[in-house]
A and B are shown apart, each in its own frame.
Chain A
Amino acid sequence: MIEKVENKRIRLLINIFLAAIFVAVIVLLDTKKIGDDYIRRVLNLTAIYTIVSVSMNLVNGFTGLFSLGQAGFMAIGAYTVALFTVPLQVRPNVFYMVPQNPIIAQIELPFAIALILGGLLAALAAILIGIPVLRLKSDYLAIATLGFSEIIRIVCTNAKSITNGALGIKSIPEMPTMWVFFGVAIISVIIIYLLINSSYGRAFKAIREDEIAAEAMGINLFKHKVMSFAIGAFFAGIGGGLLASLLATVDPRQFYFTVTYNFLLIIVLGGMGSISGTVIASFLVTAGLEVLRFFDEPLTLFGVNIPVFRPGFRMVIFSLLLMVLVLFFRNGLLGQKELSWKVIHNWFNRRGKKKTGKGGVA
């Protein structure tokens, strides 16, 4: 008994220690003591991918709805931030082809407000799609959301007086510190974690497991589905807004629906229904997408040009990875569990006991 309490205290200390290391590394990176701009950029991108993937996992992994609209919701958030934060004096330079619509041309908002507004607009869009579609079987949601994200892209390309069309919006103010990205990411993950462990979260999981049984237990299916979908869209919008300020530019091509497939890969790799798995997978996939760029460049080994390495190879590998994961390692890294010392302990134990056994862990 005492030993167990000791164990708990040691684990708590290790946890605090790890969190401190994480904060220290970010502080060092942020104050430009270590690393370079490229690493900072990739890490910021990881933070954004974490927000969007965790929100997608809330909808797909925890509520069992198959939504593919993440790119569209991100576009809404990104364009909201872009429209309202570009300083008024540079706007004529940005909108040099078609002048900006006079209704929004004189409005400039602080970044935080524009970010939240972007999230809210994304959630509103989600509610508008959710009302007709979520009453039905979830198959239609996949097509409707995929179509929605394409419509958003078409609207962004065509509504020139608002979005500047295919030229995109440039000169979005950049953020001075990495804490904007990591702070929002940490807050978002905590909010979603708390939500999932609340009574609403239990209702979401009940819907995922068996809709009819959940309804019989008195859960209002439609209300909870719309809620989960809208909250997921809200955080995707926030992620999109952060992406706009990270890249300092938005254009419709950034939000092609294939972007959503990156998040799909992340949640499948991390485990549908595991927040910590999603966080780990966001890091792995984002870093992987960057590190594996050498796949796209010609490779010469010992004077022999290896012909398979040329542009596009990286994405072939990634799409193949998605299929291999879902065919052979359906549970991903963590399945529906959360990362804890117990899981790590069991994992090592199982690995030690049966080396040849079928491992469910990738």
Chain B
Amino acid sequence: MTIELFMQQLANGISIGSLYALLAIGYTMVYGILRLINFAHGDIFMMAAYFMVFSIINFKLPWYIGAVIVIVASVGLGLLLERTAYRPLRDAPRMSIMISAIGASFFLENLATYLFTGVPKGFPDIKVLTKPVSIGNISLSVSTIITPFVTIILLYVVLFITNKTKIGMAMRAVSKDFETARLMGININKVIATTFIIGSSLAAIGAILWGSKYPSVMPLMGVMPGLKCFIAAVLGGIGNTTGAVLGGFILGMAEIMLVTFLQPLTGYRDAIAFVILIIVLLVKPTGLLGEKVTDKV
């Protein structure tokens, strides 16, 4: 192995890790507030990729306008999902909410298969993002280089919102104690809607960056990233935004390093996340940065 190849793979690992991180923030925030695994989060990511395909290839919009439309449309989809699938079940048993989340995810996947067929569509080639850049002997695309920076900036934006704004204070209160926050006059529905807005817009940005790296859009493309990013959120400590980003980076690195150093195991790339999950649950179920929560009787 040459040092160049290693550096190249390191950059890939950081880049894919930061994409996982973007999605993991959405999972961890929804879980922190609703105690719900938002199974449909990966499918919002998938739909966002389709929105991008349509706005650029079919409507011939410039990519920056397309990106704005994609973010707005994904946020709309996220809010619609929350309104129809989660809000009516707010006081229902947890099992029902989980089934509803799975139903929503299954519905979006089937709807995409039905509307856009299962044949992969090519993601538009955004020149600004796919242009190759050479640093020494390694050649990377612009999107690989900027993805980690985008993720770090967005992480700071999310941290600013949750720590410094009024709605962020309400979010933290709701995630601490749902019922008491409600009694204190916090508008629960507004807080949850905001969470979905943040999560969906991050998923949309993730989808745009993902598409310029892996330019093939399929109805089931969101499933594996979705599951992995939830695992990244668990690894970082579920409910903790910084932890989710950290977990995403670790997971991305672990995957790329497996492919680099253990070539024969390349086929098992998707399995490593679940091995990590089992190890985390055995060794430190609260995750790297999570707090211990005790059940109240």
Contacts and interface: CB of A to CB of B under 8 A. Distances in A.
Nearest to A265: B103
A212 B295 contact: yes
A136 B113 contact: no
Contacts of A133: 278, 281
Nearest to B115: A312
Nearest to B98: A66
Contacts of A318: 110
A132 B273 CA distance: 15
B92 A258 contact: no
Contact of B95 (A66, A151, A154): A66
Contacts of B85: 323, 327
A319 B267 contact: no
Contact of B270 (A68, A150, A268, A312): A150
Given A154-B270, A316-B107, A143 B95 contact: no
Interface string A303-320: 000000011110110111
B110 A316 contact: yes
B133 interface: no
A264 B92 CA distance: 18
Given A319-B107, A322-B99, A323-B100, A312 B114 contact: yes
Contacts of B268: 154-155, 158
Name the prevailing secondary structure of the B interface residues: helix
A323 B277 contact: no
A10 B274 CA distance: 56
A143 B24 CA distance: 14
Given A140-B234, A150-B227, A158 B267 contact: yes
Contacts of A323: 85, 100, 103-104, 107
Contacts of B281: 132-133, 136, 140, 144
Contacts of B37: 139, 142-143
B185 interface: no
Contacts, number: 114
Interface string A275-315: 00000000000000000000000000000000000111101
A146 interface: yes
Given A258-B106, A323-B107, A326-B89, A147 B273 contact: yes
A66 B103 CA distance: 14
B196 interface: no
Nearest to A158: B267
B110 A326 contact: no
B100 A151 contact: no
Interface string B79-108: 000001100110010011011101110110
8 contacts: A66-B95, A136-B285, A261-B106, A264-B99, A311-B117, A316-B114, A319-B109, A322-B99
The 8 tightest CB contacts between A and B, nearest first, are A312-B114, A147-B274, A158-B267, A323-B103, A319-B107, A322-B103, A315-B110, A319-B106
Given A144-B278, A312-B113, 15 more contacts: A68-B102, A135-B285, A142-B98, A143-B37, A144-B274, A151-B271, A154-B268, A258-B106, A264-B99, A268-B99, A315-B113, A319-B107, A322-B106, A323-B107, A330-B92
